[in-house]
């Protein structure tokens, strides 16, 4: 096969290092995400998974290495420029704006993506994808359940039609019925050709929908495998992912 015909990664992270103050958190991380994949980062709490995402998004004070997204080097670009390039990040804490309705929170995502001319179309798309939100557009967003707020955070990211959505612990603190609904959404997004990078403490659930997985431990990638292979490997899960 000609090299030009080979599929290129949408996201390629090489030798990524990151610091919180003087603490050297990431110790040379390499990961790739191909177009149309779901890739998950798994490992114990404090392993460095969220720091990887924050570094990719440009939210760390100090990073070093290479982050190439859709052919463009991101290091040095501020977070809003990375967002405009098609990279969306859904924070674990959701960051729903207090006092605003569901619709107003969605509009913030539209404004940030400079898509005001398509506002009605984008809101209709979100209402179709998230029936629960459609019923609550006029409701003050922080009065919804945790799962519904998480769906809103995802919807707010999706209105920009990002090339890659990064999701940090989306099932955290959410009742099981909504977790199942959310992961069905992720699977449907993949079927529609969307690309996701997922940090998730529920390892079995994450691996059940992912294509590939990276295990992170003490700021390093210590294992990389197809998700179905890792799902069947109880020994390595217990070594690196059990609490």
Does residue 193 fall inside a structural domain?
yes
The average pLDDT across 79-99 equals: 89
Measured CA to CA in angstroms, residue 237 lies from 40, 83, 217 at distances of 14, 33, 12
- CA dist 190 and 211 (Å) reads 10
Task: Give the largest CA-CA distance in the chain.
Answer: 55
Average per-residue pLDDT in the chain? 90
Say if pTM beats, i.e. exceeds, 0.85: yes
Does residue 210 fall inside a structural domain?
yes
3-state DSSP assignment of residue 129? helix
As separate numbers, helices (DSSP H) first and strands (DSSP E) second, the chain gives 10, 10
pLDDT of 1 above 50: no
Contact call for residues 130 and 155 (beta carbons, < 8 A): yes
Asked if residue 145 and residue 102 are part of one domain, the reply reads: yes
pLDDT digits (tens, 9 = 90+) for 113-125: 767 777 888 888 8
Range(s) of the domain holding residue 189: 8-86+162-243
Mark out the alpha helices in the chain (DSSP H runs). Answer: 49-57, 79-84, 102-112, 119-129, 131-134, 146-158, 176-191, 203-209, 227-232, 234-240
- CA dist 89 and 85 (Å) reads 12
Q: What percent of the chain has pLDDT over 70?
A: 96
Asked if residue 227 and residue 205 are part of one domain, the reply reads: yes
- At 5, the pLDDT band (50, 70, 90 cuts) reads very low
User: CA angle, corner 14, sides to 112 and 42, nearest 5?
Assistant: 75
Asked if residue 187 and residue 77 are part of one domain, the reply reads: yes
pLDDT digits (tens, 9 = 90+) for 111-169: 777 677 778 888 888 888 888 898 899 999 999 988 889 999 999 998 888 999 999 99
- At 191, the pLDDT band (50, 70, 90 cuts) reads very high
Asked if residue 207 and residue 101 are part of one domain, the reply reads: no
pLDDT of 215 above 60: yes
Contact call for residues 185 and 194 (beta carbons, < 8 A): no
Bridge partners, 40 (sequence order): 198, 213
pLDDT of 63 above 50: yes
Q: What is the CATH number of the domain that holds 76?
A: 3.40.50.300
- At 243, the pLDDT band (50, 70, 90 cuts) reads low
pLDDT at 230: 93
Last residue in a domain, options 161, 188, 212: 161
């Amino acid at each position: 096969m000609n090299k030009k015909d080979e599929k290129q990664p949408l996201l390629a992270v090489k030798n990524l290092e990151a610091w919180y103050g003087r603490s050297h958190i990431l110790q040379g991380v390499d990961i790739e995400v191909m177009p149309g994949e779901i890739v998950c980062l798994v490992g114990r709490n404090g392993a460095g998974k969220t720091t990887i995402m924050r570094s990719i998004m440009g939210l760390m004070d100090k990073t070093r290495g290479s982050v190439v997204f859709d052919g463009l080097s991101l290091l040095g670009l501020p977070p809003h420029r990375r967002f405009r390039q098609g990279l969306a990040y859904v924070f674990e804490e959701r960051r729903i704006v207090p006092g605003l309705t569901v619709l107003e929170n969605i509009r913030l995502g539209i404004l940030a993506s400079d898509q005001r001319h398509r506002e009605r179309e984008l809101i209709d798309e979100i209402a179709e994808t998230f029936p629960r939100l459609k019923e609550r557009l006029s409701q003050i967003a922080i009065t919804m359940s945790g799962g519904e707020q998480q769906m809103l955070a995802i919807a707010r990211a999706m209105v920009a039609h990002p090339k890659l959505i990064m999701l940090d612990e989306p099932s955290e603190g959410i009742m099981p019925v909504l977790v199942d609904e959310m992961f069905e959404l992720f699977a449907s997004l993949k079927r529609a050709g969307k690309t996701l990078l997922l940090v998730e403490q529920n390892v079995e659930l994450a691996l059940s929908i992912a294509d590939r997985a990276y295990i992170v431990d003490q700021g390093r990638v210590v294992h990389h495998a197809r998700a179905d292979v890792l799902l069947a490997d109880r020994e390595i899960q217990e070594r690196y992912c059990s609490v």
